[in-house]
Chains A and B, each alone.
Chain A
Amino acid sequence: MYQYDTHDQAMVDARVAEFSDQVARRLSGTLSEEQFRPLRLKNGLYLQLHAYMLRVAIPYGTLSSRQLRTLGDIADRYDRGYGHFTTRQNIQYNWIRLEDAPAILADLAAVGMHAIQTSGNCIRNTTADHFAGAAPDEVADPRPYAELLRQWSTFHPEFDYLPRKFKVAIIGSETDRAAMKLHDIGIQVIRNDAGEEGLRVHVGGGMGRTPMIAPVIREFLPPLQMISYLEACLRVYNRYGRRDNKYKARIKILVHEIGADEYRRQVEEEFAHILTLGLEPPPAEFARIAAQFADPAFDPQAPEAIDRSDPDFALWVDQNVHPHKAAGYGIVTVSLKPTGGIPGDASADQIRLVADLARDYSFDEVRVTHAQNLVLPHVRRADLHALWQRLDAAGLANANLDLISDIIACPGLDYCSLANARSIPLAQKISQRFADPARQRDLGELKLKISGCINACGHHHAGHIGVLGVDRKGVENYQLLFGGSEGADTSLATIIGPGFSEDGIVDAIETATGVYLAHRSEGERFIDTYRRIGTAPFKEAIYG
Chain B
Amino acid sequence: MDDTLIRLRDDAASAAPVLAFAELAETTNAAAVRLSPGDDARALLPLLGQLELVEVEFPGFNDGRGYSAARILREHGYAGELRAVGQVLVDQISHYHRCGFDAFRPDQPIARAAIDKAIATWPEVYQRTVDGRAPIWALRHG
Binding site for B on A (CB under 8 A): 5, 7-8, 10-11, 14, 18, 22, 35, 38-39, 121, 151-152, 154-163, 235, 238-239, 243, 273, 277-279, 281-282, 284-285, 288
Q: Is the CB of A158 within 8 A of B68?
A: yes
Nearest A residue to B91 via CB reads A39
Q: Mark B111-129, 1 if CB is under 8 A from A, else 0.
A: 0000000000111111111
- The residue on A at minimum CB distance from B126 is A151
Tell me the minimal C-beta distance from B138 to chain A in angstroms.
Answer: 8
Q: Is the CB of B136 within 8 A of A155?
A: no
Docked Cα-Cα span, A154 to B127, in Å, equals 9
A213 shortest CB reach to chain B, Å:
27
Q: Is the CB of B122 within 8 A of A11?
A: yes
Contacts A155-B125, A277-B128 hold; do A235 and B68 have CB atoms under 8 A apart?
Answer: yes
Measured between beta carbons, the chain A residues less than 8 angstroms from B67 are: 157-161, 238
* Chain B 87-126: CB-based contact to A (< 8 A → 1; otherwise 0): 0010110111011000000000000000000000111111
10 A-B pairs in the complex with CB atoms less than 8 angstroms apart: A7-B140, A10-B124, A14-B123, A35-B89, A35-B91, A121-B62, A151-B137, A157-B67, A161-B61, A281-B137
State the CA gap A161–B59 with chains docked (Å). Answer: 13
- Chain B residues in 8 Å Cβ range of A160: 64, 67, 92, 95
Known: A7-B140, A14-B122. A239 touches B89 (CB 8 A): no
CB distance from B18 to the nearest CB of A (A): 22
Which of B69, B124, B129 is the one whose CB lies under 8 Å from A11?
Answer: B124
Partner of B141 from A10, A11, A161, A285 at Cβ < 8 Å: A285
- B136: chain A residues within 8 A (beta carbon): 7-8, 11, 151
Given A22-B91, A160-B95, A273-B75, also A154-B62 (CB < 8 A): no
Contacts of B64 in A (CB 8 A): 121, 158-163, 238
CA distance A163 to B60 in the complex (A): 12
Q: Are B140 and A285 in contact (CB under 8 A)?
A: yes
Distance of A278 Cα from B137 Cα, bound (Å): 12
- A265 to chain B minimum Cβ distance, whole angstroms, is 15
Interface pair B61/A285, CB less than 8 Å apart: no
Q: Contacts A11-B126, A121-B64, A159-B67 known; list 14 others, CB within 8 Å.
A: A10-B123, A18-B121, A152-B126, A154-B126, A157-B94, A158-B95, A159-B64, A161-B64, A161-B67, A161-B92, A163-B64, A243-B37, A277-B128, A278-B128
Instruction: Find chain B residues with CB under 8 A from A39 CB.
Output: 91
Which residues of chain B come closer than 8 Å to A10, judged between CB atoms? 123-124
A233→B139 CA distance, assembly (Å): 26
Q: How far apart sit A520 and B82, CA to CA, in the bound complex (Å)?
A: 67
Nearest CB of chain B from residue A289's CB, rounded to whole Å: 10
Q: Is the CB of B63 within 8 A of A161?
A: yes
Is the pair A157, B68 in contact by a Cβ cutoff of 8 Å?
no
Q: How far is the CB of A45 from chain B (nearest CB, A)?
A: 15
CB neighbours (8 Å) of B69 from chain A are: 239
Q: How far is the CA of A163 from the CA of B63 in the complex (A)?
A: 7
With CB as the reference atom, state the residue of chain B lying closest to A36: B91
B83 at the interface (CB under 8 A from A): no
| Cα A18 to Cα B121 with chains together (Å) | 7
Most interface-central of B92, B124, B126, B140 (chain A CB within 10 A): B126
CB of B63 within 8 A of CB of A157, answer no
**A156 & B127 in contact (Cβ 8 Å cutoff):** yes
Q: Which residues of A contact B37 (CB under 8 A)?
A: 243
Q: Which B residues touch A163, using CB under 8 A?
A: 64
Q: List, in ascending order, chain B residues with CB within 8 A of A161's CB.
A: 61-64, 67, 92
Q: Are B139 and A158 in touch, CB under 8 angstroms?
A: no
Please indicate the chain A residues that have their CB under 8 angstroms from the CB of B123 in the complex. 10-11, 14
Contact A279 B127, CB 8 Å, known A160-B64, A238-B65: yes
Residues of chain B contacted by A278 (CB below 8 angstroms): 128
Of the residues B62, B71, B95, B127, contact of A152 by C-beta under 8 Å:
B127
Residues of A within 8 A of B61 (CB): 38, 161
Interface pair A157/B91, CB less than 8 Å apart: no
Q: How far does the alpha carbon of A251 sit from the alpha carbon of B110 in the complex, in Å? A: 34
Instruction: Give the 7 A-B CB pairs with smallest separation, nearest first.
Output: A161-B64, A157-B98, A157-B95, A281-B137, A285-B137, A7-B136, A158-B67
B63 touches A243 (CB 8 A): yes
CB of A247, distance to nearest CB on chain B (Å): 16
A18 contact set on B, CB distance < 8 A: 121
In the docked arrangement, what's the CA distance between A163 and B65, Å? 9
Give the residues in chain A near B68, CB-CB below 8 Å: 158, 235, 238-239
B141 touches A277 (CB 8 A): no
B75 touches A277 (CB 8 A): yes
Complex: chain A residue closest to B40, CB-CB: A239
Cross-chain contact B62 with A38 (CB below 8 angstroms): yes
Whether A284 and B141, one on each chain, are in contact in the complex, defined by CB atoms closer than 8 angstroms, is yes
Report the nearest A residue to B69, measured CB to CB.
A239
- Minimum CB–CB distance for B61 against chain A, Å: 7
Q: Which chain A residue shows the least CB distance to B41?
A: A239
Q: Chain A: which residue is nearest B121 at the CB level?
A: A18
Q: How far is the CA of A173 from the CA of B121 in the complex (A)?
A: 39
Question: Which residues on B sit within 8 Å (CB–CB) of A281?
Answer: 135, 137
Q: Is the Cβ of B137 less than 8 Å from the Cβ of A282?
A: yes
Q: How far is the CB of A5 from chain B (nearest CB, A)?
A: 8
Contact B121 A14 (CB under 8 A): yes
Residue of B at shortest CB range from A283? Answer: B141
Contact of A155 among B91, B122, B140 (CB under 8 A): B122
Q: When chains A and B are docked, how far (Å) is the Cα of A235 from the Cα of B68?
A: 7
A279→B71 CA distance, assembly (Å): 13
Q: How far is the CB of B53 from chain A (nearest CB, A)?
A: 21
Which residue of chain A is the closest to B76 with respect to CB atoms?
A273
Bound CA–CA A279/B61 (angstroms): 26
The answer to whether A239 and B126 have CB atoms under 8 Å apart is no
Residues of B within 8 A of A277 (CB): 75, 128
Which residue from chain B places its CB closest to the CB of A227 in the assembled complex?
Answer: B127
Give every chain B residue within 8 A of A5 (Cβ-Cβ).
140
Q: How far, in angstroms, from A152 to B98 measured CA to CA in the complex?
A: 14
The interface residues of chain B lying within 8 Å CB-to-CB of A239 are 65, 68-69
Q: Which residues of A contact B140 (CB under 8 A)?
A: 5, 7, 285, 288
CA of A159 to CA of B127 in the docked complex: distance in angstroms? Answer: 12
